[in-house]
Amino acid sequence: MTAKIGGVLLVAMLAAGCAFAYVNEDCDWRDRSEAREIAREAREHAREIARQARDQAREQAREARELSRASRDVQREAARTARESAREASHELRDAIRESVRAEREALREMRRELRRDWGPVY
């Protein structure tokens, strides 16, 4: 019987201690939950800042790519224009040379005709 009374007394003391701890440390649990809430909000804020930084970095990278692409397009257009100008100048020079050769041939033919007319079948 003393074992039963001792066990009941032990359980009663344990229950009283738990109740006292619950009432006494309730503030500590509230403080912990507030600290958890503050930490959660801080994590959310840090995530938001990191997301904004990533978005800004992506935007800057996209703008840099567009600028680079535009620069390459301008360079390609300049090179194409230079090639076309060189090609056109080459064609004009070739046409001028052909025309001068044609004129020389025509002058030579005209001279031969005159020589044939003046000297007969010798030329």
Q: The dihedral of CA 41, 45, 50, 55: what is its sign?
A: positive
On the 0-12 / 13-18 / 19+ scale of CB atoms within 10 A, 111 is exposed
Q: Specify if 74 maps to a domain.
A: yes
What is the tally of structural domains in the chain? 1
Q: Specify if 10 maps to a domain.
A: no
Per-residue pLDDT, 122: 66
Half-sphere exposure of 68 (CA within 13 A, CB side): 6
Q: Which residue has the tokens 């503030």?
A: 27
What is the residue type of 69?
R
Per-residue pLDDT, 23: 58
What is the residue type of 50?
A
pTM greater than 0.95: no
Q: Specify if 52 maps to a domain.
A: yes
Per-residue pLDDT, 32: 79
Consecutive 10-residue averages of pLDDT for the chain (123 residues): 72 70 61 87 94 96 96 96 95 95 95 86 64
Gap between the Cα atoms of 51 and 54, Å rounded:
5
Q: Specify if 57 maps to a domain.
A: yes
Q: Which residue has the tokens 């003393």?
A: 2
**Radius of gyration of the CA atoms of the chain, in A:** 51
Largest CA distance in the chain: 165
Provide the residue range defining the domain that includes 52.
Answer: 33-122
Q: Specify if 9 maps to a domain.
A: no
Instruction: Tell me the two tokens of residue 99.
Output: 């025309």
Q: Specify if 8 maps to a domain.
A: no
Gap between the Cα atoms of 118 and 120, Å rounded:
6
